[in-house]
Amino acid sequence: MTETIGFIGLGNMGLPMCLRLIGEGFNVVAYDLRDAPLDEAVAAGAVRGLDVADVAACADILLTSLPRPDHVDAVMRAGGALAALRPGSLWADLTTNRREFVETLATEAPDGVAVVDSPVTGAVDGARNGRLTLFAGGPDEGLARVVPILAKLGRVIECGPLGTGNVVKLVTNQLWFIHAAAIGEGFALGMANGVELPVLYDAITDSVGDSFVARHDGPSIFAGHYDPSFTLDLCLKDLGLLSELGDRVNAELTMTRAAHEVFEDAAERYGRDVGELHVAKRLEDDADLSFRMAGDWVAPWDVSD
Ligand code: NAD
């Protein structure tokens, strides 16, 4: 493997992805504004990038995993990473981003630079264990080049032209948000009508009520940390992007709008920097119930094979 991978954004998702690529034997040049995750990547074998433009200039394949479109703007435009990309290199953005923005940045890229969008799903545990699902969009030759690398992080679904990766990712989150907004209502309804939470959970996970939210995220509610590895701020970013995509649908997306409203309400009550499952805590507080449940709940960021 002679290609150099540049990796910018070593957060909850980016750091474990970066560490996996280092573990797979790739040459990685890494950068983050924060020292702690950059030190961890360097200790694992990455070269310390001087800044984002330095990483882009070194990279045959540049990967970015940043919170929101404005962070991508700061890195790729203001930070000079886009202009620093060499002809023949490729930029794959793993951020859940606005499709039109990625398309615009692709038109601003230097000649001979390929651009792919590949947002991911599977949470921090999926990133740590190489079991993400990645939604890749872009030109055929760009996908052919980058998919074998992304496949080290999980399963890659090729979605179509540039931007479709973000559309597919956001649809999967649209359905997750609706489930997450609903599960606290299910717990509250059962408990307020005399059923113990362990009985409810057993029934939900062995019935038509089952879901990824129930299995993967129920434990974060029971443990009472509500999963801070994905914040309400990022949920609201995605819900805003979904609302933009929804404007193109010639029908009312009632469930999506309702989910957006309850996530907004959670952020107003508890702040934007807390865990995503605070959307269910609203029901505990409103109905004077507790969803704490004893169990061997492993937090998503503590999972290892
Ligand atoms: P995060 O906030 O944990 O990490 C973002 C990282 O980017 C931080 O380390 C931050 O220091 C760094 N950063 C910000 N601005 C920078 C700059 N100008 N230069 C260099 N580094 C910079 O975010 P995350 O949870 O890892 O999410 C990353 C992306 O993945 C988001 O788009 C999110 O929606 C998506 N996502 C997250 C999860 C999850 O469970 N956390 C799951 C799927 C997808």
User: Tens of pLDDT along 247-267?
Assistant: 999 999 999 999 999 999 999
Distance CA 257, CA 243 (A): 8
- Checking if the pLDDT of 217 tops 70, the result is yes
- CATH 3.40.50.720 maps onto the chain at 4-161
b (16+ CB within 10 A) / e for 238-271: bbebbeebbeeeeeebeebeebbebbeebbeebe
- CATH 1.10.1040.10 maps onto the chain at 167-302
Distance CA 301, CA 102 (A): 29
- Expressed in angstroms and rounded, the spacing between residue 235 Cα and the centre of ligand 1 is 12
- Expressed in angstroms and rounded, the spacing between residue 71 Cα and the centre of ligand 1 is 9
- Checking if the pLDDT of 91 tops 70, the result is yes
Look at residue 11 and give its three-state secondary structure: coil
- Expressed in angstroms and rounded, the spacing between residue 288 Cα and the centre of ligand 1 is 34
Instruction: Decide if domain 167-302 falls under CATH 1.10.1040.10.
Output: yes
- Whether ligand 1 lies within 6 angstroms of the CB of 165 is answered as no
How confident is the model at residue 298, as a pLDDT? 85
- Whether ligand 1 lies within 6 angstroms of the CB of 292 is answered as no
Q: Which of the listed CATH numbers 1.20.1440.230, 3.40.50.620, 3.40.50.720, 3.40.50.2300 matches domain 4-161?
A: 3.40.50.720
- Checking if the pLDDT of 1 tops 60, the result is no
How confident is the model at residue 302, as a pLDDT? 82
- Checking if the pLDDT of 24 tops 60, the result is yes
How confident is the model at residue 301, as a pLDDT? 81
Please state the atom number of ligand 1 nearest to the C-alpha of residue 123.
Answer: 40
How confident is the model at residue 103, as a pLDDT? 98
Active site residue 169: yes
> Which amino acid is it at 182?
A
Q: What is the pLDDT of residues 164-201, one digit of tens each?
A: 999 999 999 999 999 999 999 999 999 999 999 999 99
Interval 144-167 mean pLDDT: 98
Q: pTM, whole model, 2 decimals? A: 0.96
Please state the atom number of ligand 1 nearest to the C-alpha of residue 79.
Answer: 18
